[in-house]
Structure 1
Amino acid sequence: MPMSADFHHRLSPILPRIAETFGTPFHIYDEIGIRSTGERLKRAFAGVAEFREYYAVKALPNPAVLRIMAEMGFGFDCSSIPEIELARRVGAAGEDILFTSNNTTVEEMEACLAVGGILNLDDVTLIPKVPSMPELICFRYNPGPRRTGNAIIGNPVEAKYGVAHGQIVDAYREARDRGARRFGLHTMICSNERNAGYFVETVRMLLAVVEEVQDALGIRFEFVNMGGGLGIPYRPEDEPLDLESMATRIAGLLEEFGRTHGYVPRLLMESGRYMTGPHGVLVTRCINHKHIYREYVGVDACMSALMRPAIYGAYHHVTVHGKEDAPADTVVDVVGALCENNDKFAVQRALPRIEEGDLVLVHDTGAHGHAMGFNYNGRLRPQELLLRADGTVERIRRAETADDYFATLNFEPEVWRG
């Protein structure tokens, strides 16, 4: 949806000077908005005795943003060795780090265990590959036909993630036999979901699996992790997720479990998009017009800065600085310079008339924007800026350069001769 009114009111008056100072294109993130969402999340789950958000580093892997998360008391959900290092650079240690594996290497397991992180295994075949079974182990659960997914992750039966239902008891048995003494259970079967009931049923499912495993093996679960996937309203007409209702209903499920079993596992969550997605915009400048079978507005960013519209057909709201209230009387495709016809931020979108030099804002790029960038065509990823709570603007990542692009070609020649 359009950026929040508060973000707009603080950014809009200074945006031309920011663009003049730093140049375009750039992603700019809103510290106040990020902190506000984090505090809202904590308030919503205040009824859960032990709740913790583990921010999904993949959504916006920038130390300046991760530092904000750490200051709010959040941990970090990581899925690669560099993401573990990013979390450590902002002070995360031990069980502040959750490593959710997927087709995992032994090197990655060792990196997680070396820092005392929580190892969240994705498959039973990984159990004998763990170099030294830690005291605390977690498994990612895939319910298969017991649940439906959504468009981004897909049908759980077809998803590459997680331990199948019929394997889950044996997974914990084998981990226990190899030395595990503390246990967690994780799942994530949807992405960008705005139906609060979906997440309530996910927690209900997790608690049912906990009951099944503990009845079979006599073990207690230290935590359940309901995953991420909390959605945001990208389109102006989309209804937002009812966070407070969701949290209240989940707290009720945990209380009921506690009455039956005499204990309540901690509740973890690993939201990424929900935390930062609405609090970022890609600012780019109109540089060309093309008039053929369609009207095209060319901007100085391309899908190397934001590829969601290209790979998902995802909608991102687009506005023109200073023309937010102007009539949307032209229908255009907003395009970049990449040699791919899906290099479009908007397709057949009704917008105000855009002149060369106008600043064009692509909304909701605070998650899976810069992070999903790439270098096809030799296109370079843009800089990232942060609008601080005190009104200052800080560059938190410089734009890539040609030297960066060629850096991996600078090495000592090595040739194998058979």
Structure 2
Amino acid sequence: MPISAELSNRLAGSLEEIVEHFGTPFHLYDEKGIRENGEALIRAFEEVESFREYFAVKALPNPTIMKIMQDLGFGFDCSSIAELLLSRQIGASGEQIMFTSNNTSAAEFAVAEADGGCVLNLDDISLIDKVPRMPELICFRYNPGERRSGNSIIGNPIEAKYGVAHDQLLEAYQKAMQRGARRFGLHTMLASNELNHAYMVETARMLLDRVVSLSEKLGIQFEFINIGGGLGIPYRPQEKPLDIVSMGREIADLFRSFKAHHGYAPKLFLESGRYITGPYGVLITRAINRKEIYRTYVGVDSCMSSLMRPGMYGAYHHISVLGKQGEQETVDVVGSLCENNDKFAVQRPLPAIQDGDILIIHDAGAHGHAMGFNYNGKTRPKELLLRSDGSVDLIRREETIDDIFTTLNFEPDRFIPG
């Protein structure tokens, strides 16, 4: 959806100067919006006795952004060695980190265990025997299969590669207990960019029901449930935002009822990424070419390597042109990759764009820079943070050709079998 009127006004007054100073393209994030949104999430779940957000590092893996999350009291949801290391470099440790990976390697298990460990969330029953040393606290990612539906991004749970199957879950906890686990959590992640709050409430209900069943059979209590991420943002202007207030209130009711029946309630964890930062980031790019053939194409100085969601998912990102409104024309906004899906917009009505115009691509604050790549030798752009006081900090420099060539500088190594 379009960025907030407040952010739009702030950018209108300073974006040309920012572009002149830093050059295009760049990702820019709004500190004020991110902080206020994080605080609103906390308020939405204040009726749940023990709530914690674990920011999904994969959405925006930048230490400066992660420190803002730390200020808000958030932990970190990690799924790779790099994300674990980033979290620890800013001071997170132990149960401030949840590690959820799939097809987990021995190297990943080793890093997960090091430096104070983390909350280990296993994706597969076969991984139990591969954990070098079973931690006291263990969690499993639950895949309910045909019992729930997913959406177009994660897909039908039956077809998804994630999670422990319904009929494996009891055995998974039994095997973990045999290896020494004594504290327990339960996790799931069924959808991505979900805008229906009732779906997320039902996910919480499903996990609480699983907790009751498993607790009775295993003679244990669960310390927490984690209903995953998947909280959506309205990318299209006509879409309604997720009703986070109703979601928090209805989930709090579930927890109160659980406590009334069982004498305790587990903690509630979320692992949102997109919901926290997505609406508070933009990709700024400049028009550099106009091509008139069977369609009108506006070429810009960034490409799909800076924001691949439109090419990968057919996703919509709102676009505005700095200082221009009024009469519109229908164009494709494209980059320079040798791929025909290198398009930020397809047949989109936009104000008439000329070379040099500055385009603002909205809702790029999550899974934008993080999903970048180097096809065609393209380099990923810099990242900037618009501070609450109006100043702008460089928080990641742009890549260079030398960066891309670094892995071609190595000591020769030839092996002759036999």
Is TM (by shorter chain) over 0.5? yes
Alignment RMSD (CA, Å):
0.6
SS of 2:29's equivalent?
A: strand
**Mapping of residues 132-143 of structure 1, within 5 Å:** 132-143=133-144
TM (normalized to structure 1)?
0.99
Q: Which amino acid aligns with 1:278?
A: P
SS of 2:228's equivalent?
A: coil
**Counterparts of 1:4 and 1:89, CA distance in 2:** 32
SS of 1:39's equivalent?
A: helix
**Counterparts of 2:119 and 2:147, CA distance in 1:** 27
Q: Which amino acid aligns with 1:256?
A: S
Match of 1:190 in 2: 191
Percent identity between matched residues is 64
Match of 1:58 in 2: 58
TM (normalized to structure 2)?
0.99
**Counterparts of 2:217 and 2:21, CA distance in 1:** 63
SS of 2:257's equivalent?
A: helix
SS of 1:95's equivalent?
A: strand
Match of 2:300 in 1: 299
Q: Which amino acid aligns with 2:210?
A: V
Matched, 1:383 2:382: yes
CA deviation profile, 1:209-247 (whole Å, cap 9, x unmatched): 111111111110000000000000000000000000000
Match of 1:25 in 2: 25
Contact 1:298 1:337 in 2 (8 A): yes
**Counterparts of 1:156 and 1:355, CA distance in 2:** 46
CA deviation profile, 1:333-384 (whole Å, cap 9, x unmatched): 0000000000000000000000110000110000000000000000110000
**Counterparts of 2:173 and 2:37, CA distance in 1:** 35
Matched, 1:126 2:127: yes
After TM superposition, what 4+ stretches of structure 1 lie above 3 angstroms from structure 2?
none
**Counterparts of 2:262 and 2:381, CA distance in 1:** 52
Contact 1:109 1:119 in 2 (8 A): no
**Mapping of residues 65-144 of structure 1, within 5 Å:** 65-114=65-114, 115-144=116-145
Q: Which amino acid aligns with 1:209?
A: R
Contact 1:288 1:298 in 2 (8 A): yes
Per the TM alignment, residue 326 of structure 1 is displaced from its structure 2 partner at its CA by 2.0
Query: What 5-or-longer segments of structure 2 have no aligned partner?
Result: none
Q: Which amino acid aligns with 1:292?
A: I
Match of 1:260 in 2: 261
**Mapping of residues 389-404 of structure 1, within 5 Å:** 389-404=388-403
Contact 1:137 1:183 in 2 (8 A): yes
CA deviation profile, 1:20-70 (whole Å, cap 9, x unmatched): 100000000000000011000000100011000000000000011001000
**Counterparts of 1:187 and 1:110, CA distance in 2:** 24
Q: Which moved more, 1:402-411 or 1:103-112?
A: 103-112
**Counterparts of 2:397 and 2:38, CA distance in 1:** 26
SS of 1:310's equivalent?
A: helix
CA deviation profile, 1:178-226 (whole Å, cap 9, x unmatched): 1000000000000000000000000000001111111111110000000
SS of 2:95's equivalent?
A: helix
**Counterparts of 1:70 and 1:54, CA distance in 2:** 10
Match of 2:161 in 1: 160
**Mapping of residues 228-247 of structure 1, within 5 Å:** 228-247=229-248
CA deviation profile, 1:373-417 (whole Å, cap 9, x unmatched): 000000110000000011100010000001100001111111111
SS of 2:240's equivalent?
A: coil
Matched, 1:373 2:363: no
SS of 2:402's equivalent?
A: helix
CA deviation profile, 1:287-333 (whole Å, cap 9, x unmatched): 0000000000000000000000000000000000001x323x20000
Match of 1:221 in 2: 222
Contact 1:384 1:398 in 2 (8 A): yes
Q: How many residue pairs are counted as aligned between the two chains?
A: 416
**Counterparts of 1:210 and 1:9, CA distance in 2:** 48
**Counterparts of 2:233 and 2:12, CA distance in 1:** 22
Match of 2:44 in 1: 44
CA deviation profile, 1:221-278 (whole Å, cap 9, x unmatched): 0000000000000000000000000000000001111111111100000000000000
Match of 1:341 in 2: 340
Contact 1:61 1:371 in 2 (8 A): yes
